[in-house]
A and B are shown apart, each in its own frame.
Chain A
Amino acid sequence: MTQPNNSFDVAIVGGGHNGLVAAALLSKAGQRVVLCEASSRLGSATTATTLLPGMRVPQCAHVVSGFPMALIRKLKLKRHGLAILQKNMPRVALDPDGRHIPLGSSLKASREAIFHWSSRDAEAWSKFSAKLDALTAAVTPLYRGQAPQLMPEAFSDKLAWIRHYVRERRRGRSSFQDLLKLMPSNVADFLDLALETDLLKGALALEASLGSYHGPSAPGSMFYWSWQRASEASGRGGALQVEGGPAGLTDALASAATSTGAELRVSSPVASIMVQNERTTGIVLENGDEIAAPCVISTISPKTTYLDLVGAGELDAGLVRDIENIRMRGTSAKVNLALKQLPAFAKADETLLAGRLLLAPGLMDVERASNGQKYGALPHLPVMEVTIPSVLDESLTPEGRHVLSATIPFVPFEVDGGWDTAAGKLSQQVIKTLGEYAPDLPDLIMAQETLTPPEIESRCGIEKADWHQGEIAFDQALMMRPTPQLANNNGPLKGLFVGGAGSHPGGGLTGRPAVNAADAALHYIKEQRR
């Protein structure tokens, strides 16, 4: 029997940042909201882990990339404890010998650094950046809000397509030509044609393929890169560093949600979503509790939502096939280190080390690292993105101590020989690589933690370790995400909305899928009450 206190307007499945954004938005809009998270703490990908007493480090995600500033203002997150330490976190192409190239902070600084490598590239840099920005600008409007309709029927939906087209055409012939030429192509060719400095190309290729299954030579990788850049560009603040790591963001979101009355339940795994006459009526927890809610937002992967929680029997068979065919294959591992002091990277000051450090010697090294994972092998020479959040964030460590967080792409989910032996090998390789950049680093390690993809799945609740909950590629983006039938929260089951990374626009700590789902849910609730 349904208890009176188990009746809500909206039930949210999954307590990651997307779930919390939806909870905060909907409770702010006056809905009675309950959120159920399977694990014992909120945050999923944003949680912090304590390596040693007093030394915390972001467990999975280490930057808040593309979270919209407007949403921070709307939910008054700063009042709920959100402290932004830096906006538009710059990237740095790290060089063992100290000829680092800062990227993104200022065009001039990058150009001057590139001069040490190649005057030709320094000259080409502005043009190259402009080209890249034009590509990003072309997809950014698509990134925001709902995706355009696949088969527009209403005039306003048709107009959306026309507007996108006209906007691009107005940039002129060569820009339009570039868009059509580059979008389906690959990062490696694009970089090779424009630049000659291998360090620069390597860093850009690494940036382009973080979170992707494919390496920089794969067709379509240009789209993935543009999409990732659009996620940062559309948030207005770029990549943010938040006090306490991304956990600081979810703490603020949770506080914002509870302040407006949302009920956040941890250790409440959801067993199923109840459906009657093609409408959702609530959720059932694994302990048997029924929560009645006419509207359910699921922020876990669309695959699990539809096939396991709803059940294939409630759906058309063709839709089941399409959902089963969603490609989910995360290939990122994490190595987190607690350090005695700031490691000595050659000629690197604290401003530089506060950025996102890209450790990739060259383009081909990134490509080579991406090869092995297709066949279940670890990369021989891992490339990685490293942050040292404690440079700016004093809340994480005691005075003088530091924590380092490394995201290693191209680590297979299932490795030859099993993870028991491979995990140690992976962390050894990572530390060895870090040692090439900062020779004293291996001696500074006080504690370390390696998260293999299966561990990311089990400990952070990220299915298949894919933080996009479904690869971002042309066939799984925009109005094809998660599948064409379910796009834009217009699925066959009324009252069920998918607001996780698996829906448009995809993963990353942007909160945008949840904003879209919350909008759709509010619209649905209003329609029901009418």
Chain B
Amino acid sequence: MTGDRTWDLAVQPTPLHLRTSQFNVANRWTDELGWTLPSVYSSIASEHAALRNACTMSDLTALATYSLRGADVGSYLNRLAGGTAGTVKVGASRRAVMCDDRGGLIAEGVVMRADTADWKLTLPVRCLDWLTLSARGFDCDIEDVSDHVCAFAVEGPSSCAALLAAGFAGLEALRPGGVRQLKVGSAGVTVMRRSATGGLGYEVRCAVSDALFVFDRTRRGAELFRPVLAGEQVRSLARLEAGHCRLRTDYESALIAREVDRRSPLELGLGHLVNLDVGPFTGKAALVRQKREGAHRALVGIELDGASLPEGRLLSMSTEIVGRISSLGWSPARKRIIGLADVRAASLGVNRQLSATGSDGRPVSARIVPRPFYVCPNAHRTPPDAH
């Protein structure tokens, strides 16, 4: 791709840039992994409403995509990510967490397998070095295909119906996490039923050369469902509502994190993604030790009283500071201020009455609440309810 880039910019435009710039009324941009992405297209409120009640489309290019080939991909992925990532069946996908030797979370990603030999790993961080390093002793070739794959998401309650209308035949039968290869016109696409926003959603991947064609075709075909383009900010808010912890916001990749910022999957509530009972994987010994000895910190969901965001980020219990709020936002779905906070394990359970400092300097009461903040039953139904 490097050769035929028509843009000579430090921050690279995505394959969908012609469309994202065309619809970006607010002209607010952000960058992720070196890609230019719209931050807000029109307004957060309208985008969020569409995401939760109708249908949105967004550019997903800001993910590093790695293609894995070889005879040992399954065992390689098991060793790389929690002992479970390699168990993905053909036509399925699963979330996976990569840890370093000391059990620090490097990133949470998704492994998808469209075909027997077609394994893809998507991550919110580039770490080809770590992936290659982990491949020693395995027959597994790793290639960074981020520049060759275009990805966009179609999300919201009516996303299934919208995609069906756009010609993605048979999608209603796709189970959560399922992956299917389809033809849209002459272009081959891979659709995965998975959304980080907590509701129903699909990720569509195609070759960069087909990007605009597939995107336009989807948008026009789904015209009846009025797909709204959703920017990074609203996606970020939706992911918070879904209770997902986010790289660079709620945790830092262990490959670059300072010692105090290192977090293990157990501390972040991702313990279900590692299997401590199976064969060796990177970080297993450290995680087993942590499980035995107990983690010192935990990432928890919190709800705050009031309608204005608090000033400070520190959480205190009576006079003692017990943690730090890592992400915060007004949840239109919950009609409350919600957030994720990194708190000391000792302060869990005994007395959940916490407080933060409000914008007026007064304490704002906060409660630890179970995640996720937003649950959409439709996300788990097959076929999903039509909207």
Q: Which residues of A are at the interface with B, using a C-beta cutoff of 8 A?
A: 278, 307, 311-321, 324, 485, 492
Contact = CB atoms under 8 A, between A and B. Distances in A.
Nearest to A313: B137
B127 to A, nearest CB: 11
Given A278-B285, A485-B101, A492-B285, A317 B134 contact: yes
Given A278-B285, A485-B101, A314 B280 contact: yes
Given A278-B280, A278-B285, A492-B285, A318 B100 contact: yes
A3 B198 CA distance: 57
Given A314-B280, A316-B100, 7 more contacts: A313-B138, A317-B80, A317-B101, A317-B136, A318-B101, A318-B133, A318-B282
Of the four ranges (under 10, 10 to 19, 20 to 34, 35 or more), the interface on chain B belongs to: 10 to 19
The A interface, classified by DSSP as helix, strand, loop or mixed, is helix
B136 A312 contact: yes
Contacts of A317: 79-80, 100-101, 130, 133-134, 136, 282
B75 A316 contact: no
B109 interface: no
A312 B101 contact: no
Contacts of A324: 136
A319 B133 CA distance: 10
Interface in B271-285: 280, 282-285
Which of B100, B102, B138, B285 is the most central at the interface, judged by chain A CB atoms within 10 Å of its CB?
Answer: B285
Given A278-B280, A316-B283, A321 B133 contact: yes
A332 to B, nearest CB: 29
Interface of B: 75, 79-80, 100-102, 130, 133-134, 136-138, 280, 282-285
Contacts of A278: 280, 284-285
A321 B75 CA distance: 19
Contact of B282 (A307, A311, A316, A485): A316
A270 to B, nearest CB: 17
Given A313-B79, A313-B280, A314-B280, A319 B137 contact: no
Nearest to B285: A492
Contacts of A492: 285
Contact of B137 (A311, A316, A321): A311
B136 A307 contact: yes
A456 B285 CA distance: 38
Contacts of B102: 318
A419 to B, nearest CB: 29
A321 B130 CA distance: 10
A263 to B, nearest CB: 31
Nearest to A323: B136
Contacts of B284: 278, 316
A492 B281 CA distance: 12
Nearest to A276: B279
Contacts of B282: 316-318
A319 B136 contact: no
Minimum-distance CB pairs A-B, first 7: A312-B137, A318-B101, A316-B101, A317-B134, A312-B136, A316-B282, A317-B282
A320 B80 CA distance: 13
A417 to B, nearest CB: 32
Contacts of B134: 317, 320
Nearest to B79: A313
A320 B133 contact: yes
Nearest to B277: A277
A299 to B, nearest CB: 22
Contacts of A307: 136-137
A30 B136 CA distance: 39
Contacts of A319: 101
A317 B80 CA distance: 8
Which of A313, A317, A321 is the most central at the interface, judged by chain B CB atoms within 10 Å of its CB?
Answer: A317
A103 to B, nearest CB: 46
B280 A315 contact: yes
Contacts of A318: 100-102, 133, 282
Nearest to B286: A316
Nearest to A314: B280
Contacts of B280: 278, 313-316
A312 B134 CA distance: 8
Nearest to A318: B101
A15 B284 CA distance: 34
A316 B102 CA distance: 9
Nearest to B278: A277
A250 B284 CA distance: 41
B96 to A, nearest CB: 14
A492 B286 CA distance: 10
Contacts of A313: 75, 79, 137-138, 280
Given A278-B280, A485-B101, A316 B285 contact: yes
A68 to B, nearest CB: 34
Contacts of B80: 317
A316 to B, nearest CB: 4
B85 to A, nearest CB: 14
A460 B133 CA distance: 31
B137 A320 contact: yes
A278 B83 CA distance: 14
A98 B133 CA distance: 57
B135 to A, nearest CB: 9
A307 B136 CA distance: 9
Nearest to B80: A317
